[in-house]
A and B are shown apart, each in its own frame.
Chain A
Amino acid sequence: MKTKALGTSILFHLILLVTVILVLFPVYFILQASIRPGQALYSTELSLLPTNPTLDNYRYMLTERPFPTWMRNSLFVALFTTSFTLIVATSAAYAFSRWKFIGRNVWLMIFLALQAFPAVLTLVPIFQILATVSQRTPVNLLNLSGLILAYTSGALVFTIWNMKGFFDTIPYDMEEAALIDGCTPTQAFLRVILPVSTPGLAITALFGFLAGWSEFAMANVILQKETFYTLPVGLYGLQENYRVPWGWFAAGSLMAAVPVMIMFFIAQRYLVGGLTAGGVKG
């Protein structure tokens, strides 16, 4: 019995080890490519790290490419998308969770069903709408602000459904007490419900940020000038050449990936509670 458990334990750890190696290999690969001198990846040497490591690729990306601009653009888009999504979607989710009004479930269903439309085919009409507004009014939307509006709208449905599920798990009694004490419904929402919704809000913020930081297709259509490029558009552009400059791409990728990886690991403990609160119960 004892030896059998030991055997199983070894097998389990072995499976985990193999998985982790497969998971980490691309990360290791990018890391070593980013500190390798030159752009070649084709050396057959088997050493774990390149023989003359250098930070040249990072220096090049930071000083001779508009990489800092791309990063600033991505940060700008991601932060505004996150805040708008949080404000707009959380309040809507609260209304859908708490108040009874005509067609409440129908609206939720419609929101979800609209997502069934092939997103790539909305790219042209969305570009048209933003272009029309930019031509007819003094507001220019063919830039980062148009992108933020489009991303926020795109993130609404997932966030509303997720946050509504989360609010549903919070008992009514909590607001009732506040309402009896003389709070307005909005005060009850802001002061009583939001503070106990941290896991849901953390996940909403995380996914909003990730979407703004990493989205490619829409940014590629809407952003026409290189000064507006976000990280995915800029880094993908590096790839389009005949010979891919791997060292630059790797250094840029690493700088683009590390901030979101850190955020992800900070928010990790909320992943389960924040994602499944809505779906699990029942």
Chain B
Amino acid sequence: MGVETLQKRYGMLLAYIGPTLLGVFIFSIIPILYNIYLSFTNRNQFRFMQCPEGIFYDKCPSKGYVFVALENYKKLLGDLIKPETLRALVWFGVIIIALYLVYRVVSRLLNQRTNLNGNSWALIGVAGLGLLAWFAAPSQDALVSLRESGDFVVVMSRTTIWTVICVSLFFLVGLTLALILNSPLVKAKGMWRTLIIVPWAIPYYISALTWKFFFNGEFGVINNILRQLGWANPPTWLNEPRLAFAALVIINLWMSFPFFTTIILGALQSIPREMYEASEVDGANWRQQLGSVTLPLIRPAIIPAVILSALTTFKIFESVWMVTKGGPFGSARTGATEIVMVFAYNQAFQKFNFGYISAFAVILFILLFAVTIWQVRQSRLLATETS
């Protein structure tokens, strides 16, 4: 092909994707590079001189802060290399690998020797063992030394726990409702479906602020109901670490389950009826049907949604910040509901530790970058090319 047509083709390509590249460059890549640069400086509230707007440092003398090489990274991760924290990490690593091996062996044995559903029973057993190991003395010691190693480990583990709890609940509630809505026994499906997605349609800041009021200790609707039911002194939800965390899980569940119900219902509706009829002929009960027909068939549609939701739940900011601002802040260095993005916001906009939090963001970015690439491969999102 001639040079002219080649030029024309690249011109057209540029016209189609050029604006996107420009937008991504200005609003994603430059800010990230800027943060990487900041992560090597000691910029913080004292390195501003007089800063009239607080955060708008363009009005500040530019030499307020200096280059400090890896200081911020050392502050974040340095304590992880101490012997007792390393020992703690190794301890948890060994436990996780051991539990995994036990799971593999037991589930295979159960599957071969009995006609129980080996995977689920083995999973329940291993979960029990995991709980035992968690409360064993060495684990608790290891936890203490990890907790003392700095904000990074604490905030990251808190966010991981938050994500696992939330996404499992989204999935369970979404699956249950989707199965019910897909059942031939249910009347007026359209109406139920429309009503159930209401939380998805409400702007999240309205939901978050309304729920914040519901959980208010003195006047909140929830405590009013509890008082009517005879509980004289119901807890002040948002002032107690665990309850505040639980309240946020409930709020987030309320906002997110409609997405899961919709996606799972869509996947369920694409399963041909004959598959169920065949399994009924084979005498399968509903549990076996769920395990061997429904779940495997909706898997390809559900996995991307679950991973996507896990990433957004991990990175959630506004609806948590609006309810608790990361608090309650007790004696610990971080608030009880300070998950990564809330922590990042508080460090940047309340404490102005820009250098420190930029280093945090860079480490987080590397981790999430890896997870994202892994999830794309896992869910084979790009494999559709060939078709």
Chain A residues engaging chain B, CB cutoff 8 angstroms: 5, 8-9, 12-13, 15-16, 19-20, 22-24, 26-27, 29-30, 41-42, 44, 88-89, 91-92, 94-96, 99, 101, 105, 107-109, 111-122, 124-129, 131-132, 149-150, 152-154, 156-157, 160-161, 165, 168, 185-186, 210, 213-214, 216-217, 231-232, 235-236, 239, 244, 246, 249, 253, 256-257, 260-261, 264-265, 268, 271-273, 275-276, 278-282
Contacts and interface: CB of A to CB of B under 8 A. Distances in A.
A26 B211 contact: yes
A119 B341 contact: yes
Nearest to A96: B17
A271 B210 CA distance: 26
Interface in B336-387: 340-341, 344-345, 348, 354, 357-358, 361, 364-365, 368-369, 371-373, 376, 379-385, 387
A124 B371 CA distance: 26
B28 A282 contact: no
B149 interface: no
Interface string B194-207: 11111111111111
Contacts of A214: 203-205
Given A122-B27, A153-B28, A272-B266, A256 B20 contact: no
Contact of B198 (A24, A132, A161, A185): A24
B186 interface: yes
12 contacts: A26-B211, A116-B371, A117-B31, A118-B364, A121-B361, A122-B31, A154-B27, A217-B318, A249-B209, A260-B201, A272-B263, A276-B301
B186 A122 contact: no
Contacts of B69: none
B35 A153 contact: no
A105 B385 contact: yes
B203 A120 contact: no
Interface in B162-205: 176-177, 180-181, 183, 185-187, 192, 194-205
Contact of B348 (A26, A121, A156, A272): A121
A27 B202 contact: yes
A7 B364 CA distance: 50
Contacts of B219: 41-42
Contact of A19 (B177, B262, B382): B177
Contact of B210 (A24, A168, A253, A256): A253
Contacts, number: 251
A260 B341 contact: no
B265 interface: yes
B120 to A, nearest CB: 22
Given A113-B369, A113-B373, A120 B381 contact: no
A23 B173 CA distance: 13
Question: By CB atoms of chain A within 10 A, which of B28, B186, B196 has the most?
Answer: B28
Q: Across the A-B interface, give the 5 residue pairs with the lowest CB-CB distance, nearest first.
A: A272-B266, A116-B368, A153-B27, A125-B31, A264-B201
Contact of B19 (A88, A101, A114): A88
B84 to A, nearest CB: 29
Nearest to B199: A23
Given A121-B358, A271-B197, 11 more contacts: A30-B206, A42-B219, A91-B16, A117-B31, A118-B340, A119-B341, A120-B341, A161-B381, A253-B209, A257-B206, A281-B384
Interface of B: 12-13, 15-17, 19-20, 23-24, 26-32, 34-35, 55-56, 58, 176-177, 180-181, 183, 185-187, 192, 194-207, 209-211, 213-214, 219, 221, 224, 254, 262-263, 265-267, 269-270, 300-301, 304-305, 311, 315, 317-318, 322, 340-341, 344-345, 348, 354, 357-358, 361, 364-365, 368-369, 371-373, 376, 379-385, 387
Nearest to B340: A118
A132 B19 CA distance: 21
A132 B27 CA distance: 14
Given A24-B198, A95-B13, A282-B380, A125 B371 contact: no
Contacts of B185: 5, 8-9, 12
B210 A153 contact: no
A40 B20 CA distance: 49
Given A24-B195, A111-B24, A126-B27, A117 B32 contact: yes
Contacts of A276: 263, 266-267, 301, 305
A107 B318 CA distance: 29
A156 B198 contact: no
A260 B206 CA distance: 12
Given A122-B31, A125-B31, A165 B180 contact: no
B193 to A, nearest CB: 8
A8 B187 CA distance: 12
B337 to A, nearest CB: 15
Given A117-B361, A120-B344, A124-B55, A260 B372 contact: no
Contacts of B341: 118-120
A210 B259 CA distance: 15
A99 B181 CA distance: 41
A146 B344 CA distance: 24
Contacts of A257: 201-203, 206
Given A99-B13, A116-B368, A131-B58, A279 B304 contact: yes
Contacts of B267: 276, 280
A217 B203 contact: no
B225 to A, nearest CB: 10
A86 to B, nearest CB: 12
B357 A121 contact: yes
A241 to B, nearest CB: 13
A162 to B, nearest CB: 11
Contacts of A232: 203, 205
B16 A92 contact: yes
A117 B381 contact: no
A134 B33 CA distance: 21
Question: By CB atoms of chain A within 10 A, which of B31, B55, B311 has the most?
Answer: B31
A30 B204 contact: no
A107 B221 CA distance: 49
B352 to A, nearest CB: 10
